[in-house]
Structure formats: C-alpha cells, structure tokens
Amino acid sequence: MELTGLQIFKHLPAAKKAENTNCKKCGCSTCMAYALKLAKKQVNIDACPFIPLDLKALLENASKIQQHEIQLSDTIKAGGETVMFRHEKTFVNHTVIAVALDTTDKNFDKKLEKIKEYSIERIGETYKIDAVYLTGSVSDGLRKDLQKANIAIISGEEHYRIITGRDVCELEVKAQDLIKKDKVKDIVFDLEYSDSLVEQLTYIRRASILNRHEPLTYPVMVKIPEWFNLLETCALASLLICRYANIIVLNEFDEAMISTLMTLRQNIYTNPQKPLQVEAKVYEFNDPNRYSPILLTTNFALTYFAVAGELESMSQGSYLVVVPSDGMSVLTAWSADKFTAELVAKSINNFNLKEKVDTRTIIIPGLLSHMKTELQEALPEWQIVVGTVEACQIPEFLNKGIVS
C-alpha cells in the first residue's frame, strides 16, 4: 500500500513539534504541505534535510513492487495483485484459466479447436479460455494461430522463466539465484501440488503483498495433478481461485467445469465497493404493447439479468421496471430500507409509466410478498400482484395468464 500524506506527516518535525518545524527548506510552506506532495510523488524525498531514517525506510518499502505483473500475451496478464482479501480492494488480474495440451498428441488440432471456439457470456461479460499450457515443441504457425485467437501460450520457451518448486522456501532460494546471477526479471512460479498447497500459496502471497519480499513477488501457477478426476479438479480449482493461484492449469477441457470456474472467478473478482448494478429505468422486451405485463425489481445486476434473461426468452412482450436500490438484491435492499413502498411509487411516477401503458397491474418479486399491502397503499392507481420467488418461474407465471 502507498503511504498517505497523513501517515508521512506523522514522522516529520512539525508533527513531533520538534526542531526545524516548518523550516521551508524543502520548498514547501509547511511540513504538512510537503507530506501531501511527497505522498503524490510531486517532491523528492531528499528535499527535506531532516527526514528521519525510519520514514525513509517506510517509503522505500512502500515503493517496492507487491506482485509483478507478467504479460502472458498482448492482452492476458497474471499477477499484479495488491491485497490479501477481496473486500479490501478489487483483485487486479483474474486467475488465468489454462488448459494443458501436448503438441505431439494426435488429437491436438481437434482439442485446440474446441478451446479456441469456447466462449460463454455471463452478466454482460464474455469469457474465453485464457491460455494453453503447451508441452512439446511450439511451431511458429501455432504461435501465430493462438495469437490471432487471443489465447496466451504458457511454455518453457516464453520471455519469462518458470521456476518449479514444492514449497515457499524452495521457490525463494531458486528465485534469489536467478535474480542475482542471471538478472532475470520476469518469473512465473510453478508450485507443485502437495497436501499443504493452499498453505504454501498463502505464504507466497503474504510474502509478496505484505512483506514485499522481492524473490517471492511473482505470480504463481498451479497445475492440477493428473490423478484428480473432474469433480475433484473443480473443487480444487475453485479453492485456488479464492486462495491465491494466479494461473490454474487444467488437464482436461470440460465445458461444465470451465463455465463453473469462470462464474466463481467473476464473483470473486468483482469490485467489492461497487456492486454490479444496472441503470434504473423501464426496460422493454420483445416489443411490448400497451397491454403487456409489467414486472418490477431492483437494480442489482444479477437480479436484473436473471429476470431479463427470462423475459427475453418469452414470445410475448413485457416491461421491467428497475427501481434504484444501490445495486442490492431484492431482500438485501428491502432489509436495508433501499426498497420502500415510497421509493417504488416515486420511481413509477418518475418513469411516467402511466402514460406508456394501459395495463394497471404491476408484478412484484415473490420475495417481497409481505410488502404487497404497503405497496398497494402507496400506488392506489395500480393493482399489485405478487409474482414468483425465482426468476426461472416467470415464464410459467406469465403464461398462466393471471395478468393481462
């Protein structure tokens, strides 16, 4: 973490009410002004002749890299993380999901084709396989082909060095040698599987993020052992997405597993401060007319996409009124007072819904059935109908024709 101006100020003469307080020798009017500029790196640390040694050490440490970011291809990077927990700050580069392939395998082309074609979409994001871990020789043609498909190659012949080791100590010693003797700058650790795998990964991540211990500040790759079956692979890889692998190499390409892992990765790598949210407004699906049903929900992206997906899949048109609720899900928003009858009424009036349609029925989420009376009172011109608890029940609900 960078030091803040205030953290720096605490060490300066003015904060200690010591001699040379606000001496101006640095060119700033006060120690505080200098501290703020130093935090922004707008002045040099040597400008202050009275800078204490402990502050100097702190600043030097703060300027060290926490975890190197290794460029695996033009667009795919591994590492570069800055925190231990996702609630502190958004994780930087999502775990690279790679599939192991042997270029001498007689089914190589077929397997590669499947990997190249793979793509899923979830909550407005499209995901593809990030990389292939190649054994056997890599031809120039293959290299070009993969570059075009935007899939990174991980192999022993890249611009970075791969260091293999069983634990944190072994990797540290090997890395120290490479950095000192061979002046190697880019390293990827290949941490071998062991019973204490997650423990080793945690040690490495702490050594880099918290201690900024140079020999261990490189991204870590874990290859799932060959003797793991698909379900075991899925469970272990999920653990590794949460606990500190930067690259995961899968032995087998399986659609169900990869879509599951990519969903978990999306969850873990979302910005913790800003929930995924969509714009609060009236959304239209399949050219609704003035009598199409109207549904209501919060602006939490997951809720929106779950409902929108269902409405889109139907043959009839519909409206979805999305109420501003700080990107919270239905129940969370309700318990946090972000989804009140008053707010819903206000939104519906703001959206001019009455002019848009002739229907006077609004379907509310089944989870909010307890709000029905309250909403009915707040919206006397509308009839409030309690809808389904699950989004996937919506088509059946609407097809029953309860609502015109």
Partner 1 sequence: MLNLTKDLSFSIKENIRTIDFDGLTIGGDASLSFMSENQNIAKPLVAIEIPYKYDKSFPDILKQKWEATSFLDLFEKAMKSDADIVSIRFNIEEQDVKSELNNIKIFLLSLNQIETKPLILRGSNNVNVDRILLPFLAENAPKAVIIAFADEDTYETIVPAVVKNNHVLVLRTPIDINLAKELNVLSSDKGLSLDKILIDSDMGGLGYGLEYGYSIVEKIRLAGFAGDSMLNMPIIAFIGEESYRAKESKLDTFSTNWGTLDKRASMWELSGAAAMISAGANIVVVWNPQSIGVLKGLL
Q: Is 220 in the site for partner 1 (CB under 8 A)?
A: no
**Three-state SS at 319:** strand
Find the part of the chain contacting partner 1 (CB under 8 A) among 71-79, 103-111, 211-219, 291-299: 211-219
Q: How far apart are CB 354 and partner 1 at their closest, in Å?
A: 33
The answer to whether 305 and 329 have CB atoms below 8 angstroms apart is no
Q: Is 173 in the site for partner 1 (CB under 8 A)?
A: yes
Q: Which of 239, 280, 357, 385 binds partner 1 (CB under 8 A)?
A: 239
Q: Distance (Å, rounded) from C-alpha 149 to C-alpha 94?
A: 19
Q: Is 189 in the site for partner 1 (CB under 8 A)?
A: no
- Tell me, residue by residue from 382 to 401, as one string, x for binding to partner 1 by CB under 8 A and - for no binding: --------xxx---------
Q: How far apart are CB 113 and partner 1 at their closest, in Å?
A: 14
Q: Minimal CA–CA distance to 404: which of 293, 305, 273, 312?
A: 293
Q: Minimal CA–CA distance to 118: which of 257, 302, 265, 233?
A: 257
Q: Which of 118, 212, 317, 338 binds partner 1 (CB under 8 A)?
A: 118
Q: Is 53 in the site for partner 1 (CB under 8 A)?
A: no
The answer to whether 131 and 155 have CB atoms below 8 angstroms apart is no
Query: Which lies closer to partner 1 via its Cβ, residue 6 or residue 120?
Result: 120
Q: How far apart are CB 196 and partner 1 at their closest, in Å?
A: 7
- 364: which residues sit within 8 A by CB, 6+ positions away? 296, 371, 372, 375, 384, 385, 386, 387
Strands 318-323 and 282-285: antiparallel
Q: Which of 82, 260, 316, 376 binds partner 1 (CB under 8 A)?
A: 260
What are the helix (H) ranges across 277-389? 301-312, 330-335, 341-350, 353-356, 372-378
Query: Which lies closer to partner 1 via its Cβ, residue 22 or residue 202?
Result: 202
Q: Which of 20, 103, 238, 361 binds partner 1 (CB under 8 A)?
A: 238
Q: Distance (Å, rounded) from C-alpha 338 to C-alpha 277?
A: 14
What are the helix (H) ranges across 228-288? 230-242, 255-268
Query: Which lies closer to partner 1 via its Cβ, residue 47 or residue 314?
Result: 314
Binding site for partner 1 (CB under 8 A): 85-87, 118-120, 122, 168-169, 172-173, 196, 198-199, 202-203, 206-207, 211, 213, 216, 230-232, 234-236, 238-239, 241-243, 254-261, 263-264, 266-268, 270, 272, 275, 300, 302, 306, 309, 329, 331-332, 335, 390-392
